[in-house]
Structure 1
Amino acid sequence: MNDKPAAILDVIIPTRNEAARLPALVAQLRAQRGAVLRIVACDGGSEDETIPLAERFADAVVVSAPGRGAQMNAGADAAQTAWLLFLHADSGLTQPTLLADALTALRQRCKKLGHDRVAGHFPLRFTDACPDILNALRFHELKSALNRLGCINGDQGLLISRRFFSELGGFDDTLGYLEDQKLAARIFAQGQWMTLPGALETSARRFEQESVGPRRALNALIMTAHHTGLESFFPRAADAYREQSRAERLNLTPFVSHFLNAVGDAGVSIGIRRWGRVGRYLAANLWQLALLAQQRTGKPWLARFDRWLAPGLDSTMVGWLLTPLAWGALHALRFGGAIGERYRS
């Protein structure tokens, strides 16, 4: 007779060559208290010992086409419980009851609203880097606690009911990345987000290996291209999210060139309209300057910005005023990067 209590939460972990990290995460999951977990590893073509380790430690192992979106969809198809938690393999759990507390908070929100169209994400705490890198990433940690479009990423975890996830259509697996941003936008449109109690740890090694400045700039290019409809940027920048094991100092210049080409590849008149969208996207993200000021001063600049400045920025005119700034900054970045690469070579 099996007296083991039934799982109440499927934890879905996309893996690809994660043999060095998966056992530590599984050990933390097994040590969680207050919630019975079912661990599903969804592998996308590992060439190391990830699959044998997953078969040893996880409750289910699914093999799919590579790409986090496809892998996590396959993991969701193999789920058996009413609640799903998607976690990256380099995540770390910060409390012994982290997942039980998170699930309780999400259930309470759903009960209060009378529906389950709610998704939860954790704030982040970066680890595995030198103090200077970790200090530079404090701003990203602050952003990760917010429920704003563009601030919620896959490394923050995704806690959601299986029914709502199915209603949303799962992850978009068209690209090898951005599946988290696309699903986040659909959640904003059809439901709501909540910040879960506690925090997740995540590795800052990519920032350390690629350098914080270039990685931030590339992330900004990716988000701008995504939110302004510059789809031709992504095939050109297919190496934007190389596998962690292949990460090295990032040369930003080709990505800036790909972005500029994506803006201007359809002629002058369409290019002008695209630059206008870039300017409006820049205006929509000026709140980040207020958050930065709040981080440095401890004063509530973000609330003040939202109350007094944000309403006036929601106009086409402001976007056009910022368009020359975006144009000049990107061309200067491409020119400066080309000179820098020539000097280093």
Structure 2
Amino acid sequence: MIDPPFLSLILPVLNEAATVSAQLAALQGLRARGAEVLVVDGGSADGTPDLARPGLDRLIDSPRGRALQMNAGANASRGQVLLFLHADTALPATADQLIRQATAAGASWGRFDVRIDGHHPLLRVVERMMNWRSRLTGIATGDQAIFVRRDVFAAVGGYPELPLMEDIALSKRLKRVGPPACLRECVRTSGRRWEKHGVLRTIVLMWCLRASYFLGADPQRLAIRYGYRPRQP
């Protein structure tokens, strides 16, 4: 029997034809060292699956919804550790080694610091606040490339199937198991969301959405405010 890989990279995608080939190309070094790459498509209409096939180990179709897609990828994966990677986020080249060191030291889950691509000076403030807040609270966001041991992910029930804030909800579950390993090496994530809608406006919106979520607001309503269309049956 073939031993399972140490690391499974799980990428939820939806209409990422412009970026998916380059992102997967950047993961081939990790793949060559034994990591498996799973792309979970939520119903792309732009040819994303065909573009992704040359650079992955498994392509999975899933109902649309980031939490649904990541859970589907986790169920289909074989790795001892699962890493959930957004389509606009790039890992450090030694991500597998860094995660191996963290788990060998006793961490059951963790995340990376984040660097936001873009030239607006407020983006430097945003990334520092994200990293500081995460280190202080033990809450990670999807932009920080959350990783978790398979057994721990299964024990907490995976991602809550929410249309928004699924990463925060998962972090709250995982904190009951133990604190995250807060790796100082950075993943790089696109600043397109901030620059498209205005950096300051997006900062205020995200603060309001997170505050509303912690006060008990309906995640479906928050998702609509964020700009997601409701998932079709």
C-alpha displacement of 1:6 = 6.0
Query: What is the TM-score when the length of structure 1 is the normalising length?
Result: 0.61
Q: Which residue of 1 aligns with 2:155?
A: 167
Gaps of 5+ in 1: 111-117, 244-345
- Structure 2 counterparts to residues 227-306 of structure 1, below 5 A: 227-231=214-218, 234-242=219-227
Q: Are residues 1:203 and 2:200 paired?
A: no
Distance (whole Å) between structure 1 residues aligned to residue 174 and residue 120 of structure 2: 35
Residues 87-123 of structure 1: CA deviation (Å, up to 9, x unaligned)? 11111123x322222222222224xxxxxxx211000
1:41 to 39, 42, 52: 39
1:146 to 119, 122, 135: 135
C-alpha displacement of 1:144 = 6.0
Gaps of 5+ in 2: 229-233
Q: Secondary structure at the match of 1:74?
A: helix
Q: Which residue of 2 aligns with 1:300?
A: none
Q: Which residue of 2 aligns with 1:125?
A: 115
Residues 171-222 of structure 1: CA deviation (Å, up to 9, x unaligned)? 111x321110100011112322111251100011111111122211211121
Identity of aligned residues (%): 30
CA contact (8 A) 2:116 2:124 kept: no
**Structure with higher strand content:** 2
Of 188-197 and 78-87, deviating more is: 188-197
Q: Which residue of 1 aligns with 2:78?
A: 80
Q: Which residue of 2 aligns with 1:101?
A: 98
Q: Which residue of 2 aligns with 1:176?
A: 163
Distance (whole Å) between structure 2 residues aligned to residue 32 and residue 236 of structure 1: 38
Q: Are residues 1:193 and 2:180 paired?
A: yes
Q: Compared with structure 1, are the counterparts of its residues 167 and 125 closer, same or farther at alpha carbon in structure 2 (3 Å cutoff)?
A: same
Distance (whole Å) between structure 2 residues aligned to residue 163 and residue 228 of structure 1: 30
Q: Which residue of 2 aligns with 1:282?
A: none
CA contact (8 A) 1:124 1:144 kept: no
Q: Which residue of 1 aligns with 2:20?
A: 22
Q: Secondary structure at the match of 1:190?
A: coil
Distance (whole Å) between structure 2 residues aligned to residue 52 and residue 230 of structure 1: 38
Q: Which amino acid aligns with 2:115?
A: R
Q: Which amino acid aligns with 2:227?
A: R
C-alpha displacement of 1:80 = 1.0
Cα RMSD (Å) of the superposition?
Answer: 2.3
Distance (whole Å) between structure 2 residues aligned to residue 200 and residue 191 of structure 1: 22
Residues 149-184 of structure 1: CA deviation (Å, up to 9, x unaligned)? 5x41011011111110000101111x3211101000
Which has more radius of gyration? 1
Query: Highest relative contact order (Cα 8 Å, sep 6+), 1 or 2?
Result: 2
Post-superposition, which runs of at least 4 consecutive aligned residues in structure 1 deviate over 6 A?
none
Q: Which residue of 2 aligns with 1:157?
A: 145
Q: Compared with structure 1, are the counterparts of its residues 108 and 238 closer, same or farther at alpha carbon in structure 2 (3 Å cutoff)?
A: closer
Q: Compared with structure 1, are the counterparts of its residues 66 and 33 closer, same or farther at alpha carbon in structure 2 (3 Å cutoff)?
A: closer
Q: Which residue of 1 aligns with 2:60?
A: 62
Q: Which residue of 2 aligns with 1:134?
A: 123
C-alpha displacement of 1:224 = 1.4
Q: Secondary structure at the match of 2:176?
A: helix
Q: Which amino acid aligns with 2:37?
A: I
C-alpha displacement of 1:20 = 1.5
